[in-house]
């Protein structure tokens, strides 16, 4: 039974390739019509290209362990890396609303 649990978990829960495809759901949602799918794919690519520099700056200057040392020595030990996913989603969502 333990081997079966490991097998199911490796396919559905801990599968990194499957997790990367979850980001493609917006592209695959309208793929019955090629024109619409290409338009949505271009929109997703555009938003990812716009949000990439902001997410990079957030990761390197705010969220990474020790990234806040530029604020002062008392902030050198602060680690906000647990907020990475939430911040990346918030940046992409806010830029989508802005555009």
Q: pLDDT digits over 13-70, tens only?
A: 676 666 666 556 555 565 667 777 778 778 888 988 999 999 999 998 888 888 888 8
Q: Is pLDDT larger for residue 7 or for residue 60? A: 60
CA 77, chain centre distance (Å): 25
| pLDDT in the model for residue 74 | 87
Return the sign of the alpha-carbon dihedral for residues 49, 45, 92, 59.
negative
Say whether pLDDT at 12 is over 70: no
What is the crossing angle of helices 34-58 and 84-98, to 10°? 130
Residue 24: predicted pLDDT: 60
Between CA 29 and CA 35 the distance in angstroms is: 13
Measured CA to CA, the distance from residue 87 to residue 48 in angstroms comes to 14
């Amino acid at each position: 039974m333990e081997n079966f649990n490991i097998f199911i978990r490796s396919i559905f829960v801990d599968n990194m390739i499957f997790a990367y495809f979850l980001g493609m759901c917006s592209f695959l949602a309208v793929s019955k019509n090629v024109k619409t799918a290409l338009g949505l794919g271009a929109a997703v690519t555009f938003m990812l290209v716009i949000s990439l520099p902001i997410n990079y700056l957030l990761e390197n200057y705010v969220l990474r362990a020790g990234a806040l040392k530029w604020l002062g020595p008392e902030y050198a030990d602060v680690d906000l890396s647990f907020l990475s996913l939430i911040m990346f989603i918030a940046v992409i969502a806010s830029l989508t609303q802005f555009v």
